[in-house]
Amino acid sequence: MNAALSLGRLLEDGVKDIPADPSRAMELYTRAMNAGIDSALNEVARLHNIGKGVERNLSYAAKIYNRAIEEAGSVEAMRNLALLLEDGAEGVPKDPKRAVQRFYVLLKNGGC
């Protein structure tokens, strides 16, 4: 695992005697993503999705979730994108048909 990704995970919520610093965690996740660490893609998208450590940006989150699916086959990113598509949100049009397709792919690949 990449050091930037690991440190980001520790700083996102903090741990004993280390305060949470979600903004720094986002910087580290982005660094790991730019270094080609596939699992960092979902972390960057997730924090943009919930607006933690960065301004909430659902269209960017959807873009990075798609990248995580295409480049890394991320099941977690597929689930998160399907949830965004199911309800729609600012910058992400509601698309229940596409959400259903994503959920079927998840089921087919063992995702629950």
What global pTM score does this model have?
0.88
Set out the domains of the chain in order of their start, with CATH numbers: 3-108 (1.25.40.10)
pLDDT tens digit string along 16-39?
Answer: 999 999 999 999 999 999 999 999
In tens digits, what is the pLDDT along the chain, a chain of 112 residues?
Answer: 589 999 999 999 999 999 999 999 999 999 999 999 999 999 999 999 999 999 999 999 999 999 999 999 888 999 999 999 998 888 888 988 999 998 888 888 776 6
Cα separation, 48 vs 55, in Å, equals 7
